[in-house]
Structure 1
């Protein structure tokens, strides 16, 4: 009986050691699993994430030259218009374009490949856009000419935004805004990259 009492504490220590070793080995064999489909669905619900807005104020001049006959006779005067226009362009990333293959987990870091930044929309602020001067050919459709000038001013808003670096600013803001958001969704450290793809810039 005395022998049992003497070795009993050692048996407890040995059993605790065995239990700790088994538990440690079990933890080592646990595989980290990430449900990419679930994370992708959460990302897609964010849709087109607007990341930067540029505001512009410009003077737009449009001239429509009247047809000339025999180099000296013109069918009425040229049509001319000057607009003082204000508008905005918004840069975004369309998160619905992210594919499941764009999410890669290595160790405890989630690598997310983002679509290229784009201009979500650009438009004139019609309440702040006005005609500064107007001269039209009486033989031409004045309303149609004015509409043409507004469309031209709107295209200038897009061109100015691209020339001002709106796409690069969108990419930088994605790092600042989107990274902590995705880390919260995934529960992992996130590193963002941009998908290399051809981007068609249409100024029309």
Structure 2
């Protein structure tokens, strides 16, 4: 019994040494950086539909509506013709509200974000700078509808010109340049930007 009492101080010393060693080991461990994917996602979604590039165009649009011919002898009035000098713009964007939590992931020290594909979010004519410089109408036809059709064709030409000029590619490039440093600051990690594979042009109704 006496021998056990003699060992108590030594046991206390050993336990104290173990506790000190554990405390020193814990102090050397750096705090783990925890990335809350939901928080990062909310930060990105708050940016909404991010407009990243704007292309301006000036073009000439010509439209002819041939009048009906009867019995190969005569026409019911003259052909309708219109020529527009139009100015307009197309804007490329990334709709960040389409992001889902599965599009944000962390691997080791890197944050991977898969963005929706770039799209033309809208295209439009600048009506203050669009002029009709030639108009020939048929009094039997709807002149207003004919003019509106010419405007619509001019708008469609803006969309086509923007696509052929590489607006989607430029939108993608600008998205990486702008969002990458922003997300690195938010997360504190290296960021890799990826995109969905499908190419979005944006619905024709998205004219402003």
Identify whether the pair has TM-score above 0.5, normalized to the shorter chain: yes
Q: Shift of the alpha carbon at 1:186? A: 2.0
Q: What's the counterpart of residue 4 of structure 1? A: none
Task: Check whether the contact 1:56–1:86 (CA below 8 A) recurs between aligned residues.
Answer: yes
Q: Shift of the alpha carbon at 1:185? A: 2.1
Q: What's the counterpart of residue 7 of structure 1? A: none
1:23 aligns with 2:27: yes
Moved more, 87-96 or 194-203: 194-203
Which whole-Å CA distance do the structure 2 matches of 1:122 and 1:79 have between them? 27
Pairs within 5 Å for 1:5-84: 19-24=23-28, 26-27=29-30, 31-84=32-85
Moved more, 184-193 or 128-137: 184-193
Task: Check whether the contact 2:61–2:154 (CA below 8 A) recurs between aligned residues.
Answer: yes
Which whole-Å CA distance do the structure 1 matches of 2:202 and 2:25 have between them? 61
Which whole-Å CA distance do the structure 2 matches of 1:72 and 1:202 have between them? 44
Change in CA separation of 1:79 and 1:190 when aligned onto 2, cut-off 3 Å: same
Query: How many residues align structurally?
Result: 189
Task: Check whether the contact 1:122–1:157 (CA below 8 A) recurs between aligned residues.
Answer: yes
Task: Check whether the contact 2:183–2:191 (CA below 8 A) recurs between aligned residues.
Answer: yes
Unaligned runs of 5+ in 2: 1-16
Q: TM-score, structure 1 length as denominator?
A: 0.85
Unaligned runs of 5+ in 1: 1-12
Q: What's the counterpart of residue 170 of structure 1? A: 171
Q: What's the counterpart of residue 141 of structure 1? A: 142
Task: Check whether the contact 1:159–1:203 (CA below 8 A) recurs between aligned residues.
Answer: no
Q: TM-score, structure 2 length as denominator?
A: 0.83
Q: Shift of the alpha carbon at 1:22? A: 3.8
Q: What's the counterpart of residue 5 of structure 1? A: none
Q: What's the counterpart of residue 88 of structure 1? A: 89
Q: Shift of the alpha carbon at 1:44? A: 0.8
Change in CA separation of 1:198 and 1:156 when aligned onto 2, cut-off 3 Å: closer
For the aligned residue pairs, the C-alpha RMSD in angstroms reads 2.2
